[in-house]
Chains A and B, each alone.
Chain A
Amino acid sequence: MPIAQFLVSDAVRARLPAETRESAVRDMVTALAEAGKFHPDELDDIVRAVLRREQLGTTGIGHGIAIPHTRHTSVTSLVATCATLKSGVSFDAVDDKPVDVLFLLISPQDRPREHLQALESVVQAVGDAGFVQMLRDAGADSELAKLLVDGPRTETAS
Chain B
Amino acid sequence: MVTSGSVRRTVIVHNPAGLHMRPAAAVARCAQSFRAVIRVSLDDKTVDCKSPLALITLIAVPGSLLTIEAEGADDACEAADRVSALLADPGDGH
Contact = CB atoms under 8 A, between A and B. Distances in A.
Interface of A: 53, 56-57, 59, 61, 67, 69, 71, 110, 112-113, 115-117, 119-120, 123-124, 127
Interface residues of B, number: 17
A83 B64 CA distance: 33
Contact of A123 (B16, B18, B22, B56): B56
Nearest to A70: B94
A74 B10 CA distance: 37
B20 A119 contact: yes
Nearest to B52: A61
Q: Classify the secondary structure of A's interface with B.
A: helix
Q: Classify the secondary structure of B's interface with A.
A: loop
A115 B25 contact: no
Given A53-B94, A56-B94, A57-B25, A116 B19 contact: yes
B90 interface: no
Nearest to B17: A112
Contact of B57 (A56, A59, A123): A123
Given A56-B94, A61-B53, A123-B57, A113 B21 contact: no
Contacts of A69: 21
Given A53-B94, A57-B22, A119-B20, A113 B57 contact: no
A116 B53 contact: no
Given A53-B94, A56-B94, A57-B25, A112 B56 contact: no
A120 B59 contact: yes
Contacts of A53: 94
A112 B57 contact: no
7 contacts: A57-B25, A59-B21, A71-B17, A112-B16, A112-B18, A119-B21, A120-B57
A116 B61 contact: yes
B79 interface: no
A112 B20 contact: yes
A127 B53 CA distance: 10
Interface string B47-83: 0000011001101111000000000000000000000
